[in-house]
Amino acid sequence: MSTHSFKSIEGHTEGMPVRMVIDGAPSLTGATMEKRRKVFVEGHDWIRRALMLEPRGHAHMSGTILYPPLSADADMSLLFIETSGCLPMCGHASIGSISFALEAGLIHPKSPGTVIVDVPAGTLKAKYQMHGGHVTSVRFTNVPSFLLHRDIEIQHPHFGKLVVDIAYGGNFYPIVEVQANFPGCHHFSPEQLLDWGRQMQTAVNETVDVVHPDHPSIRGVKHTMWTGAPLSDDADARAVV
């Protein structure tokens, strides 16, 4: 039986875990991170399962693999490994991984204060601030978002008929607005929304073909966004993913 060792940095972004692999990951081929994601999924997905699922991970684990930059302007590349699969994009894992890489001295940005990251979904441009060797702030401009499908009727096991929009922002999401059979996320517990969200993903993927028009390897939904009434007068909306 062969043995494998991986070195990682462990952390979180406001409580959301991030495990960034910095050594032991396989070499990948391809001109873009999307092509390299395909190579990883086809030949190395056991690494994702080993590092994200129990006993080394858990149901809410999230991770990345740090790779050298591919494009001329980039400072680093990231491959996202999640419990649900090898995703094109993950926002909180990007913030965490950029922070880890800067604090550990693993990257030296070409333009101080800015990090350019190649990811399977495209390119991220992040602005960061540091104080005393620690990253105090990271904010990034995501890949272009768009609406793929509008007013898709879904039969949900719990709610019955729901009408959803399907949007893209690095991953595809069905967005469930308040309607006759769904009074809003504020009426339910996180545990209920989590279980019903998994059911929604299955229902959407069985009902409609969700495929990125420019990148056909990016397909299907692996999240659900429930909406509801804002919590404060300053907010315009509320969402639970």
Reported as a pLDDT band with limits 50, 70 and 90, residue 202 is: very high
Confidence of residue 3 (pLDDT cuts 50, 70, 90): confident
The pair of three-digit structure tokens given for residue 189, joined into one six-digit string: 């517990």
The matching CATH number, chosen from 3.10.310.10, 3.90.1310.10, 3.40.50.300, 3.40.50.2300, for 7-141 is 3.10.310.10
Whole-number Cα distances in Å, 12 to 16, 18, 164, 223: 5, 5, 31, 20
Q: Which amino acid is at 6?
A: F
Q: Minimal CA–CA distance to 22: which of 58, 67, 79?
A: 67
Q: Do domains 7-141 and 146-240 have the same CATH topology?
A: yes
On the question of pLDDT at 1 being above 70, the answer is no
Whole-angstrom distance, CA of residue 20 vs CA of residue 117:
14
- How many CB atoms are located within 10 Å of the residue 230 CB? 13
The pLDDT assigned to 25 comes to 95
CA atoms of 46 and 174, how far apart (whole Å): 28
Model pLDDT for residues 50-92, shown as the tens digit of each residue: 999 999 999 889 999 999 999 999 999 999 999 999 999 999 9
Q: Please check the confidence at residue 223 and state whether its pLDDT lies above 90.
A: yes
CATH class of 146-240: alpha beta
Look-up of token digits 């030296």? 108
pTM: 0.92
- Residue 229 β-bridge partners: none
**pLDDT score of 4:** 92
Q: pLDDT digit string (tens) for 159-191?
A: 999 999 999 999 999 999 999 999 999 999 999
Which sequence spans correspond to the domains of the chain? 7-141, 146-240
Query: What is the Cα–Cα distance from 211 to 33, expressed in whole angstroms?
Result: 18
- Helix boundaries (H) for the chain: 33-52, 91-103, 190-207
Distance separating alpha carbons of residues 179 and 22, to the nearest angstrom: 45
Q: Using one digit for the tens of pLDDT, what is the confidence trace for 34-52?
A: 999 999 999 999 999 999 9
Q: In which residue are the tokens 């998994």 written?
A: 198
Which residue(s) pair with 173 in the sheet? 167
By the 8 A CB rule, do 232 and 185 touch?
no
89-122 per-position pLDDT tens digit: 999 999 999 999 999 999 999 999 999 999 999 9
Phi, psi (deg, nearest 5) at residue 198: -65, -40
CA 168 → CA 56, 172, 212, 229, distances in Å? 31, 4, 8, 22
